[in-house]
C-alpha cells in the first residue's frame, strides 16, 4: 500500500507532447480514475506510472521513492490490461501465480494467495482451465486475480472493461468496487467512460489534450465543473450550452436566451454574477435535469417558457425532450406524464438555481 | 401502394441471388478439384516413378518394358542399400548435419527474432529487413566466397575444415538462420504487446519473457522454422558436393549420386531406392508436425 505522486510529468513522442506537465497526488488506499477522450494522455500517464513508458520530464514517486529509472518489475505494481493479456498456455492458477513463481515464493504461500484471490473474485472453480475456455468477464476476473495475488503497492487498470458488453461492464464495475473495498490497495484506473469514472472513483481526474482539467470527487465535478470541457464531459446526456447575454430589466438582472425568452436570475445568482459585463459573449450551462416540464416543477428560481419540441425520447422513468433555441439543440428531461410529444409545444421550467455561466471565448466557468 | 410493389420485387430477387451464389460456389469447387487433381498428379509422378523403379531389378530396368509396371517385384535394392555400410554412413552424416543445423539455427534465430520483434533499439527495423535480404541471395553465389574463406582460414591457421561432414554444420546456418529468423519475427510480432508487458510487470526479465511466454506461445512458429531448417539441410546438394569429397564424409544426396553412378553406369534401381529412403525422414516429420506447420505459416491471419 502506498501513495503515488506525479510532479510536472511530461511525455514526448518524437516532437509530439502527449502529456504536458501533470501534477497529481494519490493518497494511500485511494481509488483514482483518470478519464478523458482518446488521445488525452491518460493511458500514457498510467503506463509511465507502470514503467512501461519512459518519462521525458518530471518525477514519479511510489511510496516516497522516485521511480523514474526503476524498471517495472521493481516498482511493486500490478496492472490489468484492456485485452486481459492472459498467458494463453497457462491455466488460470498458473496465470495468477506467474509473478510469485518468478520471485520464488514458497509453494504453500503461492497456493494460499491464489486461493484467497480466487475466493475474492469467485473463480475458484476455474483455476484449472485455460484462458481460451473462459468468457470475457471471467478472463477479466483472472486478470484482476493476477494483480491481487501479488499484494502490490499499487493497482493499475488500463480500460479493463472496454472489451466487455454493456451489461457485463456494469456488473464488473460493481465487482471492481467490491474488490477495492476488500483489498484497499491504492488504485489508478484509466477509462474513457465518464459513467465508469463517476461510479468507481474516490476522486476523478479529468484529462484533455495532455493536461489535467480538474481533479475532484464525482459530485464536485458534476456540480462544480471548473471548465467547459469538464462540464460537457461529465454527465449524460451532456450539459447544454446556450449562447446568452445579461441585461437589466427594471433594476433586475436577467439572462436573455432569444429575442423572445429572457429569464430573471434568482437573487443568489444575481449577486454572484453582478460584475459580469453586459456585452460579454456568454454561455449558460444547464444540465438536462434542470430543464423540465413546467407542470411537475416549480419554485423559487424556476422560470418558465414555451418551446416547440423537435424530438422526444421516452425512457420509461423519464422522457428526454429535444428542442432548439436560436439554432442550438437543447436537451431536457420531462416527466413522462407531462404529455411531451414530437413536434408539439410544451411549457418548460428552467431551474436557474443550478445554472452555470461560462465565458464563450475562453470556456472558463464564471 | 408503392411500398408493396417494392417488397414484391425484393422477394424473388433475393432468392435468385442465393441460388446463383450456391451455383457459383459449386462451380468454384469443381474447378478447385480439377486443378488440385492436376496438381497432385503432376507432383506425385516422380515419387511414383521412383517407387516403381526401386522395385525392379537392373535387368528389368534395362529391358525397357512398360516403365509403369513391375513384372517381377523385388526388394533386393532395399536390402542391398540398407545392408551397405556406405549408405548407412551417408544417412547418419545427413542426420547429424541436419540435427546440429536445426539446433544451431534455433539457438540463433529465436533470440534474434525476439530482439528484432520486441526490443526497440536503434536500427532494429533496418536490421530485420537486412536479415530477409540476406535470404534473397542465391546459394549458388555464396559457395565460392565461402570456399575461399575456408581456404584462407586453412592458410592462416593450418586447420582444414573442408572435406569434413561438420563443415556443413557451419555453412548451412547461413542459409537457414535468416529465413527462420524472418518467420519468427512475423510470429512474435503477432503476439499482443500486452502479453510481454504483463510479464514484465509480473517481474519477468527479457530472458524469462522469451523462455516462459514467447517460446510456448509461438511454438507453432518455432516448429515451422524447425521443419524448414531440417528440410533445407537434409535436401542440400550443391554445398556438400563442393565442400566434401571423401566417401566417409558424404551426406545422402551427394553420396547416392557419387557412389551409385560409376562412370557411365547408372545403377537406377538403387539410385531410386536411395532417393526414396532419403526422402522418408522429412516426409515423416511433415506428417507428424503438419498441423503445427500450417498454423505456424498462417499465424496472425485471424485472431486466434
Q: Which of A179, A198, A227 is the last residue of a domain?
A: A227
Peptide bond into A237 cis (omega under 30): yes
Tell me whether residue A232 is in a domain: no
Question: What residues in B contact A71, CB-CB < 8 Å?
Answer: 200
Quick check: is A364 in a domain? no
User: Which range is least confidently modeled, A43-57, A343-357, B10-24, B105-119?
Assistant: B10-24
* Residues A13 and A136 reside in one and the same domain: yes
Residues A266 and A298 in one domain: yes
* A234, A215 contact by CB (below 8 A): no
Residue B293 predicted with pLDDT over 90: no
- Rounded to an integer, the average pLDDT of A285-308 is 88
Q: Which CATH class is domain B84-297?
A: mainly alpha
A192 touches chain B (CB under 8 A): no
Phi then psi for residue B225, to 5 deg, are -65, -35
Q: DSSP string covering B232-255, please?
A: HHHH--HHHHHH--SGGG--HHHH
The mean-pLDDT minimum among A20-29, A156-165, A272-281 falls in A272-281
- A13 interface with B at CB cutoff 8 Å: no
By the CB < 8 Å criterion, does A162 face chain B? no
Based on the fold, state whether residues A219 and A317 are members of the same structural domain. Answer: no
- B contact test, residue of A79, A91, A148 with most B CBs within 10 A: A79
Confidence of residue B129 (pLDDT cuts 50, 70, 90): confident
Q: Quick check: is A235 in a domain?
A: no
A365 in a domain, yes or no? no
For A209, left (φ over 0), alpha (ψ -120 to 50), or beta?
left
Beta carbons of A87 and B194 less than 8 Å apart: no
Please give the grid coordinates belonging to residue A72: 517495472
B301 has pLDDT over 50: no
- B195 contacts A90 by C-beta, under 8 angstroms: no
Report, in angstroms and rounded to the nearest whole number, the Rg of chain B calculated over CA atoms.
27
Q: A83 to chain B: which residues are within 8 Å by CB?
A: 192, 194
Q: What is the pLDDT of residue B128?
A: 85
Preferred mutation among A98, A100, A152 to probe B, highest tally of B CBs within 10 A: A98
As a whole number, the mean pLDDT across chain A is 89
Which among A239, A249, A262 is positioned nearest to A328, based on CA atoms? A239
A345 with A295, same domain: the answer is yes
Alpha-carbon distance of A8 to B299, in angstroms, equals: 43
CA distance B216 to chain A (A): 7
Q: Does residue A310 sit within a domain?
A: yes
| Domain shared by A139 and A255, yes or no | no
| Domain extent for A27 | 4-227
Domain CATH number, residue A259: 2.40.50.140
Q: B218: nearest CA in chain A?
A: A89
Calculate the alpha carbon distances from A319 to A313, A328, A342, A343, B246 in Å: 5, 20, 11, 14, 94
Per-residue pLDDT, A158? 92
Task: Using an 8 Å CB-CB cutoff, list chain A residues near B208.
Answer: 102
Q: Are residues A217 and A251 in the same domain?
A: no
Altogether, the residues listed in chain B come to a count of 304
CB neighbour list of residue B301: distance below 8 Å, 6 or more residues apart: none
Q: Is the CB of A150 inside 8 Å of chain B's CB atoms?
A: yes
A223 and A120, same structural domain?
Answer: yes
Nearest to A85 among B192, B204, B208 (CB): B192
Under DSSP, is residue A256 helix (H, G, I), strand (E, B) or coil?
Answer: strand
Clarify whether residues A23 and A117 are in a common domain. Answer: yes
CB-CB neighbors (< 8 A) of B197 in chain A: 50, 52, 72, 79, 81, 85
Instruction: Tell whether the model's pLDDT for residue B294 goes beyond 80.
Output: no
CB contact under 8 A, A81 and B208: no
What is the distance in angstroms between the Cα of B217 and the nearest Cα belonging to chain A? 6
pLDDT for res A45: 92
Q: Are residues A203 and A286 in the same domain?
A: no
Query: Do residues A208 and A281 share a domain?
Result: no
Mutation pick from A74, A81, A155 vs chain B, by most beta carbons of B within 10 Å, is A81
In this model, does residue A25 exceed pLDDT 70?
yes
B269/B61 Cα distance (integer angstroms)? 8
Average pLDDT rounded to a whole number, residues A78-94: 90
On the question of pLDDT at B215 being above 70, the answer is: yes
- pLDDT-derived band at A360, boundaries 50, 70, 90: confident
pLDDT given for residue B108 in this prediction: 95
Q: In this structure, what DSSP letter does residue A238 have?
A: P
CB-based burial, B16-33: b 16+ in 10 Å, e otherwise: eeeeeeeeeeeeeeeeee
Half-sphere exposure of A235 (CA within 13 A, CB side): 24
Q: Beta partners for A314?
A: A319
The torsion angles phi and psi of A25, rounded to 5 degrees, stand at -115, 125
Contact A146 B204 (CB under 8 A): no
pLDDT-derived band at A166 (thresholds 50, 70, 90) equals confident
Q: How many domains does chain A have?
A: 2
Query: Which tens digit of pLDDT belongs to each residue from B99-114?
Result: 999 999 999 999 999 9
Residues from chain A contacting residue B190 (CB–CB below 8 Å): none
Q: Which of A16, A49, A40, A47 is nearest to A211 (CA)?
A: A40
Residues of chain A contacting residue B217, judged by C-beta atoms under 8 Å apart: 87-89
Report residue B10's pLDDT band, with 50, 70 and 90 as the boundaries: very low
At A326-359, the pLDDT tens digits run: 889 999 999 988 888 898 999 999 999 999 999 8
A139 in contact with B, Cβ within 8 Å: no
Using a 10 angstrom Cβ sphere, with 0-12 exposed, 13-18 middle and 19 or more buried, the burial of residue A243 is middle
Cα(A331)–Cα(A347) distance, integer angstroms: 14
- Over residues A138-164, mean pLDDT: 90
Q: Is the pLDDT of residue B299 over 50?
A: no
Say whether B200 and A146 touch across the interface (CB within 8 A).
no
| Bigger pLDDT: A146 vs A248 | A146
pTM score: 0.79
**CB of A348 within 8 Å of any CB in chain B?**
no
* pLDDT computed for residue A259 by the predictor: 85
CB atoms within 10 A of CB A113: 19
**A79: contact with B, CB 8 A cutoff:** yes
Q: Does residue A288 have a pLDDT over 90?
A: yes
Q: In the prediction, which pLDDT does B300 show? A: 41
| Helix, strand or coil, per DSSP, at residue A208 | strand
Task: Indicate if A213 and A311 belong to the same structural domain.
Answer: no
How many Cβ contacts (< 8 angstroms) between chains A and B? 56
Q: Does A347 touch chain B (CB under 8 A)?
A: no
Q: What number is the average pLDDT over the span B189-200?
A: 89
Q: Does a structural domain hold residue A233?
A: no
What is the per-residue pLDDT for A1? 60
The per-residue pLDDT for A35 is 92
Residues A143 and A81 in one domain: yes
What average pLDDT does range A70-77 have in this prediction?
A: 90
Residue where the block lists cell 487498470: A157
Which pLDDT score, from 0 to 100, does residue A222 have? 93
Q: Could you tell me if residue A291 is inside a domain?
A: yes
The partner residues of A242 in beta bridges, in order of sequence, read A284
Which residues 87-126 on chain A approach chain B with CB closer than 8 angstroms? 87-89, 98-99, 102-103
- What is the per-residue pLDDT for B265? 78
Q: Do B208 and A83 touch (CB under 8 A)?
A: no
**A87 → closest Cβ in B195, B197, B208:** B195
* Contact flag B205-A73 (C-beta cutoff 8 Å): yes
Q: Which residue of B has its CA nearest to A85?
A: B195
Contacts of B260 (CB under 8 A, 6+ apart): B266, B267, B270, B271, B274
Amino acid at each position: 500500500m502506498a501513495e503515488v505522486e506525479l510532479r510536472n510529468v511530461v511525455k514526448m513522442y518524437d516532437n509530439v507532447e502527449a502529456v504536458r506537465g501533470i501534477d497529481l497526488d494519490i493518497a494511500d488506499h485511494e481509488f483514482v480514475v483518470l478519464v478523458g477522450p482518446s488521445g488525452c494522455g491518460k493511458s500514457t500517464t498510467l503506463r509511465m506510472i507502470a514503467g512501461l513508458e519512459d518519462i521525458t520530464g518530471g518525477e514519479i514517486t511510489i511510496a516516497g521513492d522516485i521511480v523514474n529509472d526503476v524498471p517495472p518489475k521493481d516498482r511493486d505494481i500490478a496492472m490489468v490490461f484492456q485485452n486481459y493479456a492472459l498467458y494463453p498456455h497457462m491455466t488460470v492458477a498458473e496465470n495468477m501465480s506467474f509473478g510469485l513463481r518468478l520471485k520464488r515464493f514458497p509453494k504453500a504461500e503461492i497456493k494460499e494467495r491464489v486461493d484467497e484471490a480466487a475466493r475474492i473474485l469467485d473463480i475458484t472453480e476455474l483455476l484449472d482451465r485455460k484462458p481460451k475456455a473462459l468468457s470475457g468477464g471471467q478472463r477479466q476476473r483472472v486478470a484482476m486475480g493476477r494483480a491481487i495475488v501479488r499484494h502490490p503497492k499499487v493497482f493499475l487498470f488500463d480500460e479493463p472493461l472496454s472489451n466487455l458488453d454493456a451489461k457485463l461492464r456494469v456488473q464488473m464495475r460493481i465487482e471492481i468496487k467490491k474488490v477495492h473495498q476488500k483489498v484497499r490497495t491504492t488504485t489508478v484506473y484509466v477509462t474513457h467512460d465518464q459513467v465508469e469514472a463517476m461510479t468507481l472513483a474516490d476522486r476523478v481526474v479529468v484529462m484533455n489534450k495532455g493536461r489535467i482539467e480538474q481533479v475532484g470527487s464525482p459530485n464536485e465535478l458534476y456540480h462544480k465543473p471548473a471548465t467547459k470541457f469538464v462540464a460537457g464531459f461529465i454527465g449524460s446526456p451532456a450539459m447544454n450550452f446556450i449562447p446568452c447575454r445579461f441585461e437589466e430589466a427594471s433594476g433586475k438582472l436577467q439572462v436573455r436566451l432569444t429575442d423572445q425568452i429572457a429569464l430573471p436570475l434568482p437573487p443568489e445568482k444575481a449577486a454572484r454574477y453582478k460584475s459580469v459585463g453586459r456585452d460579454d459573449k456568454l454561455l449558460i450551462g444547464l444540465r438536462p435535469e434542470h430543464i423540465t416540464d413546467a407542470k411537475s416543477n416549480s419554485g423559487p428560481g424556476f422560470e418558465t417558457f414555451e418551446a416547440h419540441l423537435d424530438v422526444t425520447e421516452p425512457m420509461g422513468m423519464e422522457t428526454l425532450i429535444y428542442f432548439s433555441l436560436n439554432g442550438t439543440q437543447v436537451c431536457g428531461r420531462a416527466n413522462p406524464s407531462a404529455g411531451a410529444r414530437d413536434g408539439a409545444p410544451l411549457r418548460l421550467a428552467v431551474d436557474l438555481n443550478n445554472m452555470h455561466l461560462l465565458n464563450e471565448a475562453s470556456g472558463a466557468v464564471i | 401502394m408503392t411500398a408493396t410493389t417494392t417488397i414484391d420485387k425484393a422477394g424473388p430477387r433475393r432468392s435468385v441471388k442465393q441460388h446463383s451464389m450456391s451455383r457459383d460456389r459449386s462451380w468454384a469447387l469443381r474447378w478447385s478439384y480439377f486443378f488440385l487433381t492436376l496438381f497432385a498428379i503432376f507432383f506425385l509422378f516422380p515419387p511414383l516413378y521412383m517407387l516403381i523403379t526401386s522395385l525392379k531389378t537392373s535387368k528389368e530396368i534395362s529391358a525397357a518394358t512398360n516403365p509403369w509396371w513391375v513384372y517381377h517385384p523385388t526388394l533386393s535394392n532395399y536390402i542391398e542399400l540398407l545392408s551397405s555400410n556406405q549408405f548407412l554412413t551417408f544417412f547418419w552424416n545427413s542426420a547429424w548435419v541436419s540435427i546440429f543445423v536445426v539446433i544451431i539455427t534455433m539457438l540463433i534465430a529465436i533470440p534474434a527474432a525476439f530482439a528484432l520483434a520486441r526490443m526497440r533499439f536503434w536500427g532494429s527495423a533496418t536490421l530485420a529487413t537486412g536479415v530477409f535480404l540476406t535470404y534473397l541471395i542465391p546459394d549458388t553465389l555464396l559457395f565460392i566466397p565461402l570456399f575461399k574463406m575456408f581456404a584462407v582460414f586453412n592458410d592462416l591457421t593450418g586447420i582444414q575444415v573442408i572435406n569434413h561432414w561438420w563443415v556443413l554444420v557451419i555453412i548451412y546456418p547461413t542459409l537457414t538462420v535468416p529465413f527462420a529468423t524472418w518467420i519468427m519475427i512475423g510470429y512474435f510480432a503477432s503476439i499482443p504487446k500486452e502479453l510481454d508487458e504483463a510479464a514484465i510487470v509480473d517481474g519477468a526479465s527479457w530472458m524469462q519473457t522469451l523462455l516462459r511466454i514467447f517460446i510456448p506461445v509461438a511454438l507453432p512458429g518455432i516448429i515451422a522454422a524447425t521443419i524448414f531448417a531440417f528440410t533445407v539441410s537434409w535436401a542440400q546438394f550443391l554445398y556438400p558436393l563442393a565442400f566434401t569429397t571423401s566417401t566417409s564424409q558424404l551426406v545422402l544426396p551427394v553420396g547416392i549420386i557419387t557412389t551409385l553412378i560409376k562412370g557411365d553406369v547408372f545403377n537406377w534401381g538403387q539410385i531410386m531406392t536411395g532417393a526414396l529412403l532419403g526422402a522418408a525422414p522429412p516426409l515423416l516429420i511433415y506428417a507428424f508436425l503438419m498441423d503445427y506447420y500450417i498454423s505456424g505459416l498462417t499465424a496472425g491471419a485471424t485472431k486466434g
